[in-house]
Amino acid sequence: METSASNEQRNKVNLRSQEWFEGRDELGLQSRSVLRSLGWTREFFTGKPVIGIANSWSELNTCNLGLKAVAEAVKRGVIAAGGVPLEFNTISLGEELMKPSAMLYRNLLAMELEETLRAYPIDGVVLLTGCDKTTPAQLMGAASANLPAIQVCAGTRSASRWKGHELGSGTDLWHYLDAYRMGEVSEQDWQAFEKNYSCGIGTCNTMGTASTMTVLSEALGMMLPHTATIPAMDARRLAAAEASGRRSVELVWQDLRPSQIMTRAAFENALRVYMSIGGSTNAVIHLIAIAQRLRVPLTLDDFDAYARRTPMLLNLQPSGKFLMPDFDEAGGVPALMQELRDLLNLECLTVTGHFLQETLDEVPYRDSSVISSRDHPLAPSGAIAILHGNLAPRGAVIRTTTASTQLETHRGPAIVFDTYQDMLTRIDDPNLPVTAESVLVLRNAGAVGVPGLPEWGSIPIPKKLLRQGVQDIVRISDSRMSGTSYGTVVLHITPEAAIGGLLALVQNGDLIELDVENRTLSLLVSPEELDRRQRDWTPPQRIHSRGYPRLYAEHVLQPDEGCDFDFLIPQSDADLTFHPP
Ligand code: FES
Ligand code: MG
């Protein structure tokens, strides 16, 4: 279901690249000589849209490694549709190797992409994404540039088996890690597990952040239908890439831009999908960041409201049982959206050039064992909840589909870790006065504090409790957690401790109350005592006195504002215009 631009549409479009390539002066000649240096004849490129292919493949990041081949298929599509493909590389955000977290560099990639699009003769762009932060970073940059754009993902890695069990990325690692820490898994088995766990290229095959964000990109309308879920090694991925390449040329001729696709209505659809898949908590931060770039209003309250009104349908790890290839076989995002159809805005334009309605009219199939029907949802509502209270006046997030129901209403004494290192040093100390009632508190782990808001929030269960058979306790922090993690974990406490949030004032033994039903997170200490502690508090010293981490700490916004940089947020509609270099 793709359409070509009419001649009338084509005649209306002034290609941005022609400013470079059509000049009669020496600059025009120099520009054309770049294309000729690629071995191209003038006939190959004259008068055609230039399609940038923003590639994030790297050997530092095996999640995105397959994009090298994907780019070739995109180029084939661009050329077939009468465009000129020019591939360029960007920083590669690999969650597995980057310290403290690829999140520190999400805004850097967004800026790099925006500025590459600004400075170079590019008419439209194909965004090749993969690991977690790549997808939001590209959508942020593309939103600010607002040139015709389409996203293609690397696809998820296949599931290998270990001891007769399919391994879910991240999720199974955390399970086996706890068993290994308990001495229940031998050293030999641990090594065998490692061999099987590293089972090839592609993104995590669970509903971690990478899968959540690619699914949401498709739900927003920025990827072709039923392409977000295709596994990395499936030949259909290359076909999807070719089709996306072709579409990118038509997007330019139709002058269809991200701001026309990522509207408030499209974000509302994305929120529905997000809640129905039990997506990663990180998507809260990312969706707000993307929306803000276009001045689309989107707040934490929207997330809570949609969570309350959207059934959970997808049976995927870590909330459920299956893996991403199963979701793909079950019909993928269109089949899921078809089930939510009456809750969606069907008149949203997508990169197909059509309304969402037309995509959903063509859904052929849905496997109800993976994507439940609306009549029999996995849960009637509430995949995540947004909490407020004196501990989180500007909000905190919990994924309820991976939390323990009996802990969702809980009051217990705090055990405070001042830093991540402090937590690692003491968590398994036999003298740590921890019980199943304790609330573990990690602070100074936020956007400013580290800096970079790493995935440290899923504090391991102390060995002492694991030995007693305790599987979960309440953990709270100003940090994030991997979308593949699980447990009763409250995240993104805002404002964070390092800028003076109340979290900074919690002391060991203070009572903390979590009440998910009533959406509250409270520190049960008198205001007088808190005032006294506040007067004694001094902010922690900033670690970085120079470079990008300093820029980040000085300009990053809090999670309720998407952790974007303050200077990247448009201040008025006038800022939505993409000025030439
Ligand atoms: Fe890259 Fe999960 S670590 S997608
Ligand atoms: Mg992840």
Q: What digits encode the pLDDT tens for the residues 31-52?
A: 999 999 999 999 999 999 999 9
Distance, CA of 11 to CA of 523 (rounded, Å): 63
Q: 173 CB under 6 A from ligand 1?
A: no
Rg, the chain, Cα only: 24
- Sheet of 149-153, strand order: 84-89, 50-55, 124-129, 149-153
For residue 35, give the 3-state DSSP assignment. helix
For residue 414 the two structure tokens come to 């705090």
pLDDT score at 3:
62
pLDDT for 2 equals 53
132 lines ligand 1 (CB under 6 A): yes
- Omega prior to 136 cis, within 30 of 0: no
Atom of ligand 1 nearest to the CA of 62: 1
Residue with tokens 């996203």: 151
Does ligand 1 lie within 6 Å of residue 155's CB atom?
A: no
Listed by start position, the domains of the chain span: 48-158+200-361, 166-198, 384-536
Q: Kindly report the pTM of this predicted structure.
A: 0.97
Hey, how many other C-beta atoms are within 10 angstroms of the C-beta on 163? 9
pLDDT score for 318? 93
User: Which of 131, 156, 317 has the most ligand 1 atoms within 8 A of CB, as the residue to mutate?
Assistant: 131
- Supply the pLDDT for residue 5: 83
Q: How far is the CA of 208 from the centre of ligand 2 (A)?
A: 5
The residue whose C-alpha atom lies closest to atom 2 belonging to ligand 1 is 204
DSSP, res 504: G
User: Which CATH architecture best describes the domain 384-536?
Assistant: 3-Layer(bba) Sandwich (3.50)
For 212-237, write each residue's pLDDT tens digit.
999 999 999 999 999 999 999 999 99
Best residue among 58, 62, 96 to mutate for probing ligand 1, ranked by most atoms within 8 Å of CB: 96
Amino acid at 117: L
Homologous superfamily of domain range 48-158+200-361: Response regulator (3.40.50.2300)
Do 384-536 and 48-158+200-361 fall under one CATH topology?
no
Contact 208 CB / ligand 1 (< 6 Å): yes
Nearest to 144 by CA among 109, 104, 92: 109
Per-residue pLDDT of the chain (581 residues; tens, 9 = 90+): 556 788 888 888 999 999 999 988 999 999 999 999 999 999 999 999 999 999 999 999 999 999 999 999 999 999 999 999 999 999 999 999 999 999 999 999 999 999 999 999 999 999 999 999 999 999 999 999 999 999 999 999 988 888 888 888 888 888 888 888 888 999 999 998 888 887 689 999 999 999 999 999 999 999 999 999 999 999 999 999 999 999 999 999 999 999 999 999 999 999 999 999 999 999 999 999 999 999 999 999 999 999 999 999 999 999 999 999 999 999 999 999 999 999 999 999 999 999 999 999 999 899 999 999 999 999 999 899 999 999 999 999 999 999 999 999 999 999 999 999 999 999 999 999 999 999 999 999 999 999 999 999 999 999 999 999 999 999 999 999 999 899 999 999 999 999 999 999 999 999 999 999 999 999 999 999 999 999 999 999 988 999 999 999 999 999 999 999 999 999 999 999 998 88
**Ligand 1 and 455: CB distance under 6 A:** no
Atom of ligand 1 lying closest to residue 170 CA: 2
Helical H segments across 347-478, by residue range: 356-361, 420-426, 463-467
Q: What residue ranges in 351-481 does DSSP mark as E strands?
A: 384-387, 396-399, 409-417, 439-442, 474-477
Question: β-strands 474-477, 520-523: how paired?
Answer: unpaired
